[in-house]
Amino acid sequence: MMKKKEKSAAQVSEHAALIRCPICGGEMHVETLASLVCSNSHAFDFSKQGYVNMLNKPVTTQYDQTLFENRRDFILESGFYSRMHGVVVDIIHHLGTDDMTVLDAGSGEGSHMERILAGVEGKHLGFGIDIAKEGILMAAKNYPDSIWFVGDLANLPLKDSSCDVILNILSPANYSEFSRVIKPDGVVIKVVPQSGYLGELREALYRDTDKAEYDNAGTVSLFEENFEVLERVQVKEKVMLDRAALANLIHMSPLAWNHEAGELDDFISEERPVTIDLEILVGRSAISV
């Protein structure tokens, strides 16, 4: 039986035409079901779990394994993001293509893309890229049907015009790279937090200080400068979260960093409604207009 690593390598080999070397931009191919190698001999090994680390040098991030485990449980079990996933699935359906290449840029541990691809009809290829190794390692273990790279948004290991859809969910963006890898008729779907997002948690943490609100005006206008905006959808509702979901929430959120253990005991002591307030921006490459 093939090991996880070899299965991934075989799958990547089928799609190697979409991948480019992050060092020189050259063509890549899979050698001995063990590494991705470019025409200038830059080589990147498959890990035991099946992902490839495409960073030129190691990066340490504040996102660790515990945070990603809490994100996964929260995304899969709380129902908090179900409506957002539904809206994104509909947007992708409207593209009406059977066989799409989807990139999740800043994928974390991959559960958003997994849920979204599971909802879209047809057979689609998913690439997930994140700079945090702990997230990608978990993604490769849990979702072996997609291709997972540790990599930098600012230097995507994908060829020009290779993607039909770019997902960019609650993560930083790099619009020149997104413009380069998106197909002329592809779409970028960016999910950004709005002022009410997790308001109850922010109030519990910061009371009335300025930190209590997200301000996303800059994020939205930068998106508009780079893409022709086809659609903007707001997902805003209060979702009842049980104690397990609340515990996941406080451990998955950068908001709760730098707070003492115990400070949020009250917040998670009984079920409560928490606000989701997201804007989904759908953009098409401005060059194609």
Ligand X SMILES: C[S@@+](CC[C@H](N)C(=O)[O-])C[C@H]1O[C@@H](n2cnc3c(N)ncnc32)[C@H](O)[C@@H]1O
Look up residue 220 and give its amino acid.
Answer: V
Q: Which does 42 bind (CB under 5 to 8 A by kind): Zn ion, ligand X, none?
A: Zn ion
Q: Which of 5, 20, 85, 112 binds ligand X (CB under 6 A)?
A: 112
Q: Which residues contact 205 (CB under 8 A, 6 or more apart)?
A: 211, 255, 256, 259, 263, 264
With beta carbons less than 8 A apart as the criterion, state whether 160 and 181 touch: yes
Query: Distance (Å, rounded) from C-alpha 150 to C-alpha 130?
Result: 5
Residue 24 contacts Zn ion per CB under 5 A:
yes
Site string for ligand X, 115-134 (x = CB under 6 A): ---------------xxx--
From Zn ion, ligand X, none, which one binds at residue 132 (CB under 5 to 8 Å depending on kind)? Answer: ligand X
Distance (Å, whole) CA 91 – CA 107: 19
Binding string, residues 176-215; x marks residues near Zn ion by CB under 5 A:
----------------------------------------
Q: Is position 110 annotated in a ligand binding site?
A: yes
Look at residue 18 and give the partner it binds from Zn ion, ligand X, none, a contact being a CB closer than 5 to 8 Å depending on partner kind. none
Sign of CA dihedral 245, 206, 132, 276: positive
Contact 125, 147 (CB under 8 A): yes
- The residue (of 22 and 110) whose beta carbon lies closer to Zn ion is 22
Asked if 107 interacts with ligand X (CB under 6 A), we say yes
State the binding partner of 190 from Zn ion, ligand X, none, CB within 5 to 8 A by kind. none
- Written as six digits, the tokens of 154 are 């600012």
Place of tokens 């899979």: 30
Selected from 70, 146, 171, 194, the binder of ligand X by CB under 6 A is: 171
Stretch that binds ligand X, among 26-34, 166-174, 205-213, 281-289 (CB under 6 A): 166-174
Ligand-binding annotation for 24, yes or no, is yes
Task: Output 100 or 278, the one with its CB closest to ligand X.
Answer: 278
* Cα–Cα nearest to 189, from 284, 66, 81, 70: 284
241-280: which residues touch Zn ion (CB under 5 A)? none
Q: How far apart are CA 95 and CA 186, in angstroms?
A: 8
What Rg do the C-alpha atoms of the chain give, in angstroms?
Answer: 19
Residue 40's binding partner among ligand X, Zn ion, none (Cβ under 5 to 8 angstroms by kind) is: Zn ion
Distance CA 272, CA 124 (A): 37
Tokens standing for residue 71? 């994100």
Q: How many other CB atoms sit within 10 Å of the CB of residue 209?
A: 10
Contact between 38 and Zn ion per CB under 5 A: yes
Q: Is 109 annotated as a binding residue?
A: yes
Contacting positions for Zn ion (CB under 5 A): 21, 23-24, 26, 38, 40, 42
Contacting positions for ligand X (CB under 6 A): 61, 63, 71, 106-108, 112, 130-132, 135, 152-154, 169-172
Point out the annotated binding site for S-adenosyl-L-methionine. Answer: 81, 109-110, 197
